[in-house]
Chains A and B, each alone.
Chain A
Amino acid sequence: DQQVKQNSPSLSVQEGRISILNCDYTNSMFDYFLWYKKYPAEGPTFLISISSIKDKNEDGRFTVFLNKSAKHLSLHIVPSQPGDSAVYFCAASARNNNDMRFGAGTRLTVKP
């Protein structure tokens, strides 16, 4: 069962515009959410996280929003840069469990 879903396999935006990547989850026990970025032939690297006690976390150009009632989170990148072109994974974990579940990823392309 896929507990974390990223329904958009790809997204293309113009440099300087906002990129919005979406993620939905089904397990109401999830309380810690992360976004990872992955370049080809490399492992995922951590980007930003949010705990369920918050609804927003910001780090420079990256902001993650959490809507617990909708079981939805999103990553906003403003302004988007060509170097942001990568695959972005959403991940979640639950307090009563030590594992982590990942979405299938969204490939972001930022065009100059």
Chain B
Amino acid sequence: NAGVTQTPKFRILKIGQSMTLQCTQDMNHNYMYWYRQDPGMGLKLIYYSVGAGITDKGEVPNGYNVSRSTTEDFPLRLELAAPSQTSVYFCASKEQRDQPQHFGDGTRLSIL
């Protein structure tokens, strides 16, 4: 099983550019999450989804958008990249509420 796959692993963007961080899972999990981790900080929740067609904001949603058209995929969209969005982004999934999340290996994003 591949688990949770994130692409790309690394990306450098210029201020104002847009991009989509891809996340796909092959475990048929209902719950999916996007986090960002800044240096020396914990993971901050950006958006999450409890199933296809349903998304909700987390702690730090500003500047991001998500969609969940299928169970497998949960892309994260940055429309106008800003230096404050330089971070490592992690996608995660889980089957049910009281179960641990499975994480991807992250996307390291730098905005210059």
A residues whose Cβ falls under 8 Å from a Cβ of B: 4, 6, 9, 32, 34, 36, 41-46, 49, 51, 89, 91, 93, 95, 98-105
- What residue in chain B is nearest A41 (Cβ atoms)? B105
Near A by CB (< 8 A), chain B positions 4-61 give: 4, 31, 33, 35, 40-45, 48, 50, 56, 58-59
- The minimal Cβ–Cβ distance linking B11 to chain A, given in whole angstroms, is 15
Which of A32, A95, A98 sits near B48, CB closer than 8 Å?
A98
**Chain B residues bordering chain A, tally (CB within 8 A):** 26
- The minimal Cβ–Cβ distance linking B36 to chain A, given in whole angstroms, is 11
Kindly specify which of B67-75, B77-85, B95-103 makes contact with the partner chain.
B95-103
Which of B35, B90, B101, B105 sits near A46, CB closer than 8 Å?
B101
Which of B40, B44, B90, B100 sits near A43, CB closer than 8 Å?
B90
Quick check: B56 and A49 within 8 Å, CB to CB? no
**Chain A residues with Cβ under 8 A from B41's Cβ?**
104
Which of A9, A34, A41, A99 sits near B45, CB closer than 8 Å?
A99
Quick check: A102 and B42 within 8 Å, CB to CB? yes
Quick check: A46 and B42 within 8 Å, CB to CB? no
Quick check: B100 and A34 within 8 Å, CB to CB? yes
Which of B42, B50, B105 sits near A103, CB closer than 8 Å?
B42
12 further A-B pairs in the complex, CB-CB below 8 A; given A43-B90, A44-B90, A99-B58? A34-B100, A43-B92, A46-B101, A46-B102, A89-B42, A89-B43, A100-B101, A102-B42, A102-B43, A104-B40, A104-B41, A104-B42
Quick check: B106 and A4 within 8 Å, CB to CB? no
Quick check: B105 and A43 within 8 Å, CB to CB? yes
**Chain B residues with Cβ under 8 A from A32's Cβ?**
97-98
- The minimal Cβ–Cβ distance linking A37 to chain B, given in whole angstroms, is 11
In the complex, A42→B108 CA distance in Å?
11
Quick check: A43 and B98 within 8 Å, CB to CB? no
**Chain B residues with Cβ under 8 A from A104's Cβ?**
40-42
Most chain B C-beta atoms within 10 Å of own C-beta, residue among A6, A34, A43, A93 = A43
- What residue in chain B is nearest A1 (Cβ atoms)? B59
